[in-house]
Amino acid sequence: MSRYRRYDGGDPLAPPVDLAEALDAIGQDVMAGSSPERAMREFLRRGGQDRTGLDDLARRVAERRREILERHDLDGTMREVRRLLDTAVTAERGQLARDITMDDGDRAFRELRLENLPTSTASAVSELSDYDWQSREAREAYEQIKDLLGRELLDQRFAGMKQALEGATEEDRAAVQEMLSDLNDLLEKHARSDGSPEATAEVDRAFAEFMDKHGDFFPENPQNVDELVDALAQRAAAAQRMLASMTPEQRAELMELSQQAFGSPGLMEQLARMDANLQALRPGEDWSGSETFEGGEGLGLGDGTGALQDLAQLDALADQLSQSYGGARLDDVDLDALARQLGDEAAVDARTLQELERALRDSGYLRRGSDGELRLSPKAMRQLGKSLLRDVADRMSGRSGARETRTSGLAGEPSGATRRWEFGDTEPWDVPRTITNAVLRDGGSPVRLRIDDVEVGETEARTQAAVALLVDTSFSMAMDGRWVPMKRTSLALHQLIRSRFRGDRLQLIGFGRHAEVMEIEQLTALDARWAKGTNLHHALLLANRFFRQHPNAQPVLLVVTDGEPTAHLEPDGEVWFAYPPDPVTIAHTVRELDGSARLGAQVTFFRLGEDPGLARFIDSMARRAGGRMVSPELDDLGVAVVGSYLGSRGPGTSYRDHFADWPGGRGFWA
């Protein structure tokens, strides 16, 4: 037999989660100094452009909690009891006035008794417990009070009992009393169990017998005694929190009224026994908390307990959505509880975030290092580099009509390398590689080609280049907001050379108080350093050494900086620092720059900042080396650096010419 239920998994035609936006945001934060773990958490909190984040779900949880407290109060049962009492007294007074057969003395005594009832509702109900009602309507109203109290007290511990026992007979009430007595016997047997196989089997038998006899009272259908205890303890603890949330006067009246439930104190005694058993079995539940209800819509005992359970569930959801505890994962979020409190759409949003987190962890973009910390994997660096390079290409295309070049090496000749076909490629297919890819994928015949199998042969366009990208890592770069654009630019150029110009060689050199050669992973994860000094001299030393290691390649020197040289390397390897720049430091730097020029390097300085003195100095340095200075806006730094690199590879013309007519390019090329 097939079973069907409502689909609650969101849009079944929705595409898989897109990691590109998440990876780009995580990469940005990592380059700004955040750890990958923290960056991932931050993205999941913020959400994406078209994706709800944890912060929004947490805000809605807080609003739902506030709505419950501001809308309701806990006086609903007392109000209903007061109404029924007033109905009974009014009907009785009318009956006494109409009954002409009654003895005048008896009438006067009854009227006096009704007239002098206590102002307390609970005391008035107790006072009338032995009253001989003359009015049938009054008697029914008073009996409704006892019935209502019994059903409300049961509804506090067993959700839905108030409605289930409406119009119940004496036999029904007796069945409830028997169920409570048997339940307490079961709970006490479970508490006495020592956990041995024999004791556990005995408890299991007792549980099975209890459910066979009283299972209709438990529609949630617990499968074992622990599930039964969990459900009952959560509800009973909420009932205790409701009592604690009442005013002392409300609490005292309710306790007094409870003795009238079903016309005897027996029900209250069994419930008190059950509460004690549950608290002993589940001491970890919140049995003593309280809330402040400020609204005007009265809640009965059962509904009030349900509201306290809702508040507890909302608190748990807020904790889960905060992800602020050790080992937190989005899989911890209770989607069923979220759907109950905020609706199915919220649960779908949370499920999407769960899938995104799993995809980020399982896709290989994040990997855990030997120290246990998450790091961006090489795969993530490539993907992030592609995204940054795509952004650079879009900016170039939108401003100048320049197109990406897909060739490398000497003009027109095959380089011997192949790569995956991409839309727009005009190079010939490499048939052996394409067929091999299809065979390896399917493992047999017939061979079925897919677009992912196709590889094309690369052709060479010019001589190999040795590219040295020198990036300023002094603290002023971080202080003035240039840290992340510098890293983005480095990653974009790294990706371009590794993917499209694989015959070229790239060396990344960071220079602050001293200079060092860096791998791209090291540079993108570099934290800002509070160290004085801009040691361009040391960086040029390393660049020239790199150029000499590749004598057959065209040297390309790209320097990104926001300050004049204030440090140089002494012969003994010590760093000399002086501010304002010392003439000796300038001389060392110029001498090494002349060395780059003698090696034939094509030199471009990228000046960040508006300091006129810096502009004059860097311009003179660039002219001395036969190069140029570029002063891009931060958003255009990547375009400028990549454009300069591509221009250095073009035959016979500088890439500068392509940017000459850029709209909004005021001051772009100095």
For the residues of 560-586, what is the DSSP string, one character each? EESS---EEE-TTSPEEE-SSPPHHHH
Q: Is the pLDDT of residue 9 over 60?
A: no
Assess if residue 308 is contained within a domain: no
The answer as to whether 4 is a domain residue is: no
245 with 131, same domain: the answer is yes
Confidence band, pLDDT 50/70/90 cuts, at residue 237: very high
Answer with the one of 443, 460, 477 that is the final residue of a domain: 460
Whether 125 and 238 share a structural domain: yes
Query: CB of 594 within 8 A of CB of 624?
Result: yes
Among residues 161, 154, 305, the alpha carbon closest in space to that of 238 is found at: 305
* Token pair of 527 as six digits: 């934290």
pLDDT attached to residue 552: 86
Q: What mean pLDDT is predicted for residues 339-357? A: 88
- Please, which pLDDT band fits residue 663 given cuts at 50, 70 and 90? very low
Structural domain contains residue 264: yes
Report the alpha-carbon distance of residue 519 to residue 144 in Å, rounded: 81
Q: Is the pLDDT of residue 258 over 80?
A: yes
pLDDT at residue 373 in the model: 61
Number of domains in the chain: 4
> What mean pLDDT value characterizes the chain?
82
Asked if 226 and 332 sit in the same domain, the reply is no
517 φ, ψ (degrees, to nearest 5): -75, 135
Could you tell me if residue 298 is inside a domain?
no
Number of neighbours of residue 29 by Cβ within 10 angstroms: 18
> Is the per-residue pLDDT at 399 higher than 60?
no
Among 323, 356, 376, residue at a domain's last position: 376
Residues 258, 182, single domain; the answer is yes
Residues 83 and 231 occupy one common structural domain: yes
> What is the model's pLDDT at position 407?
43
Same domain, yes or no, for 319 and 268? no
Residue 657 has pLDDT above 70, yes or no: no
pLDDT at residue 145 tops 80: yes
Whether 80 and 225 map to the same domain: the answer is: yes
Residue 655 lies in a domain: yes
Q: What is the mean pLDDT of residues 439-447?
A: 77
pLDDT higher than 70, residue 375: no
531 vs 599 pLDDT, higher one: 599
- Find the helix or strand (DSSP H, E) in which 607 lies: strand 602-607
Q: Which of 16-20, 34-38, 358-362, 657-661 has the highest mean pLDDT?
A: 358-362
Of 404, 400, 189, whose CA–CA distance to 280 is shortest?
Answer: 189
pLDDT at 670: 35
Token pair in block for residue 299: 């809640």
**Domain at 644, CATH number:** 3.40.50.410
What is residue 507's predicted lDDT score, i.e. its pLDDT? 92
Could you say which of 460, 493, 519 is where a domain stops? 460
User: Span 258-279, mean pLDDT?
Assistant: 86
For the segment 291-322, what is each residue's pLDDT rounded down to a tens digit? 999 888 888 888 999 999 999 999 999 999 98
User: What domain range is 128 assigned to?
Assistant: 75-292
* Residue 13 in domain: no
Question: What gap in Å lies between CA 660 and CA 505, rounded to an integer?
Answer: 28
Whether 244 and 305 have beta carbons less than 8 Å apart is answered as no
Q: In the structure, what pLDDT confidence band is assigned to residue 649 with cuts at 50, 70 and 90?
A: low
Mean pLDDT of 569-580: 85
pLDDT score for 394: 63
pLDDT of residue 206: 94
The reply to whether 558 and 601 lie within a common domain is yes
The answer on 445 and 495 residing in a single domain is: no
Highest mean pLDDT among 156-170, 219-233, 571-585: 219-233
Alpha carbon 1 to its chain centroid, in Å, reads 40
Residue among 396, 167, 122 at smallest CA distance from 259: 122
Residue 472 resides in a domain: yes
Q: Classify residue 301: in a domain, yes or no.
A: no
Phi/psi of residue 402, nearest 5 degrees:
-70, 145
Q: Are residues 336 and 244 in the same domain?
A: no
Cβ 165 vs Cβ 151: under 8 Å: yes
Same domain, 488 and 612: yes
Are the C-beta atoms of 27 and 380 separated by less than 8 Å?
yes
Same domain, yes or no: 49 and 103 = no
Please list, in sequence order, all residues whose beta carbon lies within 8 angstroms of the beta carbon of residue 4, skipping any fewer than 6 positions away: none
Of 563, 562, 561, 560, nearest in space to 642 by CA: 560
pTM over 0.85: no
Supply the pLDDT for residue 664.
35
pLDDT at 229: 94
Q: Which of 289, 274, 182 is nearest to 233 (CA)?
A: 274
Sign of CA dihedral 331, 336, 337, 339: positive
